[in-house]
Structure 1
Amino acid sequence: MNTDERLCSIALTLCPGIGHIGAKRLVDTVGSAADVFRLRTELPERYPGILHTSVVAALDNPAAFLQAEKELEWAEKNRVDCLTLSDERYPSRLRDCEDAPIVLFFKGNADLNRLRVVSMVGTRRATDYGKRFCTDFLRDLSELCSDVLVVSGLAYGIDVHAHRAALSNGLSTVGVLAHGLDRIYPAVHRKTAVDMLAEGGLLTEFLTNTNPDRHNFVSRNRIVAGMSDAVIVVESAAKGGSLITAELAEGYHRDCFAVPGRATDEYSMGCNQLIRDNKAALINDASDFVKAMNWGHGEESRKTAAVQRSLFPELTEEEMRVVKILSRDDLHINTLVVEANIPVNRMSAILFELEMKGVVKALVGGVYHLLA
């Protein structure tokens, strides 16, 4: 049995009847995609309830491995990174989502685990108001937080304007695609995509020869939401893909923001609706956003000295790790997950224990403060 985790992960996505959540659950439970195939006949007995016996036959799939070999060969030839769940470069925020892809294809140089990641999404029919917001917001954000990674979908409208504004202001930016890396859609964004390879990159879960069909964009949106700390909806009609992304962000416990507009403006109706329903916080500019996310660098928010272990003798090793990280600054739970390399569900439990011990305090927006 082949033990290349990349090959096995690709092959697992090609086995019928398993799906995103099923594949993720299998890999998380068994330990690796390679072990899923190696132990396929034993899975129903070893892990009752996780895999129906009727699906075991789907794992005996030589055709899936043949196609996976072709995909991996193409990726290596074109210098595309194949990131499995066990790869340290895989977006750790996304890894904690139950429907996260078990394999991603990435071309570029961005750190997908940057400490600060924001997704900007919106209508494909962006107005001058929305375009101007992207330009002004990312210009100001680059001055307030120069280390932010900007994520969007390389689509018409707000998406591509967010990417271009990020590039113009020296911010790294990643486009999440609804098709394979063997094409760029829409083709008119090719130059922007090429520019992004030098200052960010392109990311997808889809194999080559995949058409950018409508349902793929919905699937793509969960990656846009899941790999970020916050989602900003710049403009949206009363119905649209951006609202789906906002919904996904809420489900993943990500912060969500919306840019308000006039009640009569068609492409502000969705944003106003999110704000009205308390599904997104209102922001007017980058300063509002940075304050809400507690991403400021002011000296008043920094601790003057590192907290010593002797001050907290009752803490576990994991709790102490979190305390040491928080000794530098107040941080969002997603940032703690990345820095401490602790899964989000475990991190939530640790932070709860630290609150009960009077060591940390929960602030608004999922931010935690170390009590001196």
Structure 2
Amino acid sequence: MNSEDLLYAMALQHIPNLGDTTSKKLIAKLGGAKNVFKEKRSNLLKIDGVGQVRIQELNESRHFKAAEEELKFIEANNIKVHYFQDKNYPEKLKHCLDGPIILFSKGNIELDRRRVISIVGTRKISAHGSSFCEEFIENLAVLDPVIISGFAYGVDITAQKAAVKNSLQTVGCLAHGLNQIYPKSHKKYMAEIEKNGGFFTDFWSTDNFDRNNFLKRNRIIAGLSEATIVIESAEKGGALVTADIANSYDREVFAVPGRPADKYSIGCNNLIKAQRAHVLTSVADLVYILNWELNEKQQSVQKQLFVELEKDEQKIFDFLKSSGKTELDLLALNCQFPTFKTASLLLNMELKGAIRPLPGKLFEVI
């Protein structure tokens, strides 16, 4: 995108209440941001979602002045610009109607042909939640995914620190311009994250810091990812908003179940009960639902790290390992379990990646 086209696109983004969805509609209809400003008022009024007030804003020179100043800031601070029609715009975000027309980034972000997941949750993460998050990402490292989060307190920073520790690329999506950082205490993590990852935002350096920005930011977290994982959440919270947005984008959502009495498990449990999230207890659950193809090394590590069998599951696993392919009823008979229980155990073991079903109700160890 040349500098003139970028200026017009920035001016369009600066118009209040126009929105990314309407802006994209105008650009698609008229062939570019510049053409939106040049088009006759009568023709603009024929486009759905465009009213008199918005058209009037197109004549305001202040939008171009603001765009020129922001471009100076961008150039002075080595900020990358991603226009929604350009190749450097994140591919998964291109498929989101309300994705920003322009995204800004810093660091060394590389999302092309990568597995990308987001991890979100409460800012008041428990010791159990922190331990689960860290262990989950450690076990996930062999699959080399990109970890997306919001760089906030709690689950977000726990996930991103764990990603850095395990040499995974991680990206923080910010609810403000790249001239500041929130929370300030997380500034010490920025350099390490920018070495292998970085930061995305669609906010300008002149945008006011507002709580509503966080909700708007959540669409980028969900849009960048093929799956969103909620580690812990109260009955209400920003993580649940991100999960809802991910569902609206037809992306997979996972939630870590917890005890009903735990305040920060209620949100996750409700997602699962409402069938708006898959149960996540191990990396195997993620691999299975997303149907990730594993190379030989990854399969080997998966068996070592991901398969944690219960006592009854282990009994079936040991029998299959020694006897080879076995039919369901014969498994139930030899392991001395009712058939219905055996079928349930086999399903759990399949989800964990320990066994696989074969035609004719046969099962074997992977």
State whether TM-score is above 0.5. yes
CA distance in 1 between counterparts of 2:195 and 2:273 reads 39
| C-alpha displacement of 1:147 | 3.4
Hey, what does 1:230 align to over in structure 2? 227
Hey, what does 2:131 align to over in structure 1? 132
Contact (CA 8 Å) 1:15, 1:61: kept in 2 or not? no
Question: Residue 90 of structure 1: SS of its match in structure 2?
Answer: coil
Which string of whole-angstrom CA distances, capped at 9 and with x for unpartnered residues, describes residues 311-330 of structure 1?
Answer: xxxxxxxxxxxxxxxxxxxx
**10-19 vs 32-41, which deviates more?**
32-41
| C-alpha displacement of 1:90 | 0.9
Hey, what does 1:115 align to over in structure 2? 114
Question: Residue 4 of structure 1: SS of its match in structure 2?
Answer: helix
Match of 2:159 among 150, 158, 162: 162
Match of 2:144 among 143, 147, 154: 147
| C-alpha displacement of 1:86 | 1.8
Hey, what does 1:96 align to over in structure 2? 95
Normalising by structure 2, what TM-score?
Answer: 0.77
| C-alpha displacement of 1:30 | 2.5
| C-alpha displacement of 1:133 | 1.5
Which string of whole-angstrom CA distances, capped at 9 and with x for unpartnered residues, describes residues 207-258 of structure 1?
Answer: 0033431100000001111111000000000110000000001101010000
- Kindly provide the amino acid, as one letter, of the partner of residue 251 in structure 1: S
CA distance in 1 between counterparts of 2:152 and 2:209 reads 11
Q: Is 1:30 aligned to residue 27 of structure 2? A: no
Q: Is 1:62 aligned to residue 69 of structure 2? A: no
CA distance in 1 between counterparts of 2:25 and 2:112 reads 22
| C-alpha displacement of 1:31 | 2.9
CA distance in 2 between counterparts of 1:78 and 1:188 reads 21
Hey, what does 2:318 align to over in structure 1? none
- Kindly provide the amino acid, as one letter, of the partner of residue 106 in structure 1: S
CA distance in 1 between counterparts of 2:41 and 2:262 reads 58
Which string of whole-angstrom CA distances, capped at 9 and with x for unpartnered residues, describes residues 245-301 of structure 1?
Answer: 0000110101000001111111111001100110000011112211211113146xx
| Cα pair distance change 1:209/1:58, threshold 3 Å | closer
Hey, what does 1:210 align to over in structure 2? 207
Question: Residue 111 of structure 1: SS of its match in structure 2?
Answer: coil
Contact (CA 8 Å) 1:185, 1:212: kept in 2 or not? no
Q: Displaced runs of 4+ in structure 1, greater than 6 A?
A: none
CA distance in 1 between counterparts of 2:83 and 2:42 reads 23
| Structure with larger Rg | 2
Which string of whole-angstrom CA distances, capped at 9 and with x for unpartnered residues, describes residues 351-370 of structure 1?
Answer: xxxxxxxxxxxxxxxxxxxx
Which string of whole-angstrom CA distances, capped at 9 and with x for unpartnered residues, describes residues 156-189 of structure 1?
Answer: 0000011100011111000000000000100000
Normalising by structure 1, what TM-score?
Answer: 0.76
Question: Residue 206 of structure 2: SS of its match in structure 1?
Answer: coil
| C-alpha displacement of 1:3 | 6.5
Contact (CA 8 Å) 1:44, 1:53: kept in 2 or not? no
- Kindly provide the amino acid, as one letter, of the partner of residue 179 in structure 2: D
Q: Is 1:296 aligned to residue 293 of structure 2? A: yes
Q: Is 1:177 aligned to residue 169 of structure 2? A: no
Hey, what does 1:81 align to over in structure 2? 80
Question: Residue 27 of structure 1: SS of its match in structure 2?
Answer: helix
5+ unaligned residues in a row in structure 2: which ranges?
A: 297-366
Give matches, 1:17-56, under 5 Å: 17-39=17-39, 41=41, 43-44=43-44, 48-56=47-55
| C-alpha displacement of 1:82 | 1.4
CA distance in 2 between counterparts of 1:96 and 1:29 reads 18
Question: Residue 11 of structure 1: SS of its match in structure 2?
Answer: helix
CA distance in 1 between counterparts of 2:213 and 2:113 reads 26
Contact (CA 8 Å) 1:249, 1:255: kept in 2 or not? yes
Contact (CA 8 Å) 1:93, 1:226: kept in 2 or not? yes
CA distance in 2 between counterparts of 1:40 and 1:100 reads 27
CA distance in 2 between counterparts of 1:219 and 1:237 reads 20
- Kindly provide the amino acid, as one letter, of the partner of residue 105 in structure 1: F
| Cα pair distance change 1:141/1:12, threshold 3 Å | same
- Kindly provide the amino acid, as one letter, of the partner of residue 132 in structure 2: F
